[in-house]
């Protein structure tokens, strides 16, 4: 389809503002270059964005088992509540007496999330998961600094971790120590012990881990880290598996981030805005970030004002809806759905770990690829032709030819049965017509894009012909 700039007609516009009712003021310094934004009427704009949205697959369109992203249904009541003028039209620096509602929203959300995570304090400043990681590791850094312990220069990250974990540790000035996982994808205790020492600042871990398995040794792991003088950071990417069943705080973690845009059903918006609420134990509360302008200097701060407030409004609406019964029910069914789908796929594609999983599981297609020549990428692209968003591909790195599926609790048995059927069909097809799958998708918006050309010869904006 055409770009919006190619639809521009000189002189076309919408009538939005009245004539200015005060004297004009001519600023001495002026923009010299012309402003080449598109010129359109409102109907042009409306049609353009409608066309664009018809070229997007959302959770509302169909199954979206993107592992580690928790693509659950996003309730529309949450959207409507976040659009209330009493939330949208509030200035962040309005007097405290006029924003009691906003404060109450944060207080309630903090209280519920502390209870769910087993933490004592919470900040909503971080705008995304990676931003939450950054905040959490800065809590650890401040803790060691406050004790005058400057020798702790390393953060331990398992090799199965998401790339944001090592990137975060590096942003916080730490050297990253990657520890190998045990054959079952869990932390190798011997490798951990070998990595721990007086230079250990902390450990970043998710549990269940990135292959969807709950690490049974978790209390031993956090104890070992604490014994070495380090702190334990819980990456909440996989919290949807365990809410209301077991709490990171009870596993021995000192701080945590939670993705409100995953676990607490706020929409991903095509890549944000999210919210990476960070919780911590009592002894770290003093290090939580605050806005210099709202609360005064003296604290770290990871963005302007109090955070992605409207995302918190959505999450609170969701928390209130589910409540103490619905929260564990959501997790139970996320785990049930994952195990059911894995069971239905078994016999064709091979799970990387053939055992009860938590909310997600990883398929290992390396043998299958040897037999058929069809790769995880080929299968993923073939799923698109079947109206399904592909699972996460080639992650975690410890499984070769990995496809990681997370169905979430909001998918029905029929959807899972149909998805399993699609996987069976593609499995059979690989043995019959691998070539067809190498070129999938065949019925999508586009065929496979040339990413190498995009990177080698970057065209990152439109320019007038």
Partner 1 sequence: MGSYVPGTLSERQQMLKAIGMEREDALYADVPAQMLLTEPLNIPSGMSELEVRSKMEALAAENKVFKTVLRGAGAYDHYIPSIVKYVPNKEEFLTAYTPYQAEMSQGILQSIFEYQTMICQLTGMDVSNASVYDGATAAAEAAAMCRDRKRSVTLISAAAHPDTINTVRTYCYGANAELRIVPCKDGKTDLDALKEMLTPDVASLILQQPNFYGQLEDAKAIGEAVHAAKAMFVLSCDPLSLAILPTPKEVGADVMVGEGQCLGLPIAWGGPYLGIMATTEKHMRKLPGRIVGETHDDAGNKAYVLSLQAREQHIRREKASSNICSNEALCALTAGLYMATMGPEGMKEAARQTTAKAHYLKAELCKLPGVKAKFAGEFYQEFVTVMPKREAVLAALEEAGILGGLPLGENEVLWCATEKVTKCELDKAVAIVKEVLAK
From the list 316, 363, 402, 437, which residue makes contact with partner 1 (rule: CB under 8 A)?
316
Looking at the Cβ atoms of 81 and 280, the one nearer to partner 1 is: 81
From the list 119, 122, 133, 154, which residue makes contact with partner 1 (rule: CB under 8 A)?
133
- Of residues 445 through 464, those in contact with partner 1 by CB under 8 A are 445-451, 453-455, 458-462
Looking at the Cβ atoms of 80 and 421, the one nearer to partner 1 is: 80
Looking at the Cβ atoms of 87 and 436, the one nearer to partner 1 is: 87
Helix axes 309-345, 100-117, angle to 10 degrees: 30
Q: Are 143 and 231 in contact (CB under 8 A)?
A: yes
Q: What is the dihedral of CA 321, 324, 329, 335, to 10 degrees?
A: 110
Q: Assess 289 for contact with partner 1 (CB under 8 A).
A: yes
Six token digits for residue 441: 């998708």
HEC profile of 30-64 = CCCCCCCCCCCCHHHHHHHHHHHHCCCCCCCCCCC
**Candidates 192-200, 212-220, 222-230, 427-435 — which segment interacts with partner 1 by CB under 8 A?**
212-220
Q: Assess 305 for contact with partner 1 (CB under 8 A).
A: yes
Looking at the Cβ atoms of 370 and 451, the one nearer to partner 1 is: 451
- Of residues 386 through 425, those in contact with partner 1 by CB under 8 A are 389-390, 395, 409-413
Can you say whether residue 285 is alpha, beta or left, with left for phi > 0 and alpha for psi between -120 and 50 degrees? alpha
CB of 415 to partner 1, least distance (A): 8
Alpha-carbon torsion 336, 185, 224, 201, what sign?
negative
Q: Assess 146 for contact with partner 1 (CB under 8 A).
A: no
Q: Are 311 and 266 in contact (CB under 8 A)?
A: yes
Helix axes 129-146, 164-171, angle to 10 degrees: 40
Looking at the Cβ atoms of 321 and 367, the one nearer to partner 1 is: 321
Q: Assess 81 for contact with partner 1 (CB under 8 A).
A: yes
Q: Assess 90 for contact with partner 1 (CB under 8 A).
A: yes
**Candidates 197-205, 227-235, 365-373, 438-446 — which segment interacts with partner 1 by CB under 8 A?**
438-446
DSSP three-state, residue 274: coil
Cα–Cα dist 366/414, whole Å: 29
From the list 39, 120, 199, 418, which residue makes contact with partner 1 (rule: CB under 8 A)?
39
From the list 179, 201, 319, 398, which residue makes contact with partner 1 (rule: CB under 8 A)?
319
- Of residues 225 through 244, those in contact with partner 1 by CB under 8 A are 242, 244
Cα–Cα dist 248/259, whole Å: 14
From the list 147, 283, 321, 431, which residue makes contact with partner 1 (rule: CB under 8 A)?
321
Q: Assess 84 for contact with partner 1 (CB under 8 A).
A: yes
Cα–Cα dist 432/427, whole Å: 9
The continuous run of DSSP H or E covering 6 comes out as none
Six token digits for residue 456: 């080698």
From the list 73, 226, 350, 424, which residue makes contact with partner 1 (rule: CB under 8 A)?
73
CB of 75 to partner 1, least distance (A): 6
CB of 182 to partner 1, least distance (A): 14
Q: Are 255 and 227 in contact (CB under 8 A)?
A: no
Q: Assess 212 for contact with partner 1 (CB under 8 A).
A: no
CB of 239 to partner 1, least distance (A): 13
From the list 203, 204, 225, 251, which residue makes contact with partner 1 (rule: CB under 8 A)?
251
Q: Assess 72 for contact with partner 1 (CB under 8 A).
A: yes
Q: Assess 38 for contact with partner 1 (CB under 8 A).
A: yes
Q: Assess 301 for contact with partner 1 (CB under 8 A).
A: yes
CB of 457 to partner 1, least distance (A): 8
Looking at the Cβ atoms of 194 and 292, the one nearer to partner 1 is: 292
Phi, psi of 350 (to 5 degrees): -105, 125
The closest alpha carbon to 328, from 116, 120, 122, belongs to 116
Transcribe 229-270 into DSSP letters. Answer: T-EEEEEGGGGGGTTTT--GGGGT-SEEEEETTTTT----TT
From the list 168, 222, 386, 429, which residue makes contact with partner 1 (rule: CB under 8 A)?
168
Cα–Cα dist 465/463, whole Å: 6
Q: Assess 152 for contact with partner 1 (CB under 8 A).
A: no
Size of residue set near partner 1 by CB under 8 A: 199
Site of tokens 């220069």: 153
């Amino acid at each position: 389809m055409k770009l919006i700039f190619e639809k521009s007609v000189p002189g076309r516009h919408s009538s939005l503002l009245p004539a200015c009712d005060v004297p004009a003021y001519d600023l001495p310094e002026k923009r010299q270059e012309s402003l080449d934004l598109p010129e359109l009427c409102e109907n042009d704009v409306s049609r353009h964005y409608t066309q664009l949205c018809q070229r997007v697959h959302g959770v509302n369109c169909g199954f979206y088992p993107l592992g580690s992203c928790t693509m659950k249904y996003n309730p529309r009541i949450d959207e409507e509540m976040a659009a209330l003028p009493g939330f949208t039209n509030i200035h962040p620096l309005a007097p405290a007496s006029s924003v009691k509602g906003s404060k109450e929203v944060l207080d309630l959300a903090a209280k519920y999330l502390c209870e769910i995570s087993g933490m004592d304090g919470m900040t909503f400043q971080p705008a995304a998961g990676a931003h939450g990681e950054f905040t959490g590791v800065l809590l650890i850094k401040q803790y060691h600094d406050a004790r005058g312990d400057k020798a702790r220069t390393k953060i331990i990250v398992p090799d199965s971790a998401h790339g944001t974990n090592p990137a975060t540790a590096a942003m916080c000035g730490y050297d990253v120590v990657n520890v190998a996982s045990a054959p079952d994808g869990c932390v190798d205790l011997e490798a951990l012990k070998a990595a721990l020492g007086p230079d250990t600042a902390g450990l970043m871990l998710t549990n269940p881990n990135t292959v969807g398995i709950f690490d049974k040794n978790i209390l031993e792991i956090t104890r070992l880290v604490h014994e070495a003088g380090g702190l334990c950071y819980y990456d909440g990417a996989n919290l949807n598996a365990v809410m209301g069943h077991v709490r990171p705080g009870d596993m021995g973690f000192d701080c945590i981030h939670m993705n409100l845009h995953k676990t607490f059903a706020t929409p991903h918006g095509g890549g944000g805005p999210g919210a990476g609420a960070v919780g911590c134990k009592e002894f770290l509360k003093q290090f939580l970030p605050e806005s210099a302008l709202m609360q005064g200097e003296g604290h770290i701060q990871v963005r302007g004002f109090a955070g992605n407030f409207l995302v918190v409004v959505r999450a609170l609406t969701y928390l209130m809806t589910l409540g103490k019964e619905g929260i564990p029910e959501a997790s139970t069914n996320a785990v049930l759905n994952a195990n059911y789908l894995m069971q239905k796929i078994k016999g064709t594609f091979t799970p990387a770990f053939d055992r009860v999983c938590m909310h997600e599981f990883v398929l290992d297609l390396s043998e299958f690829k040897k037999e058929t020549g069809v790769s995880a990428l080929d299968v993923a692209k073939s799923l698109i032709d079947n109206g399904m968003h592909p699972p996460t591909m080639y992650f975690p790195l410890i499984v070769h030819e990995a496809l990681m599926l997370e169905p979430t609790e909001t998918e029905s048995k029929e959807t899972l049965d149909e998805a399993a059927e699609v996987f069976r069909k593609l499995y059979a097809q690989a043995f019959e017509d691998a070539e067809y799958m190498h070129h999938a998708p065949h019925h999508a918006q586009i065929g496979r894009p040339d990413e190498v050309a995009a990177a080698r010869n970057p065209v990152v904006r439109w320019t007038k012909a």
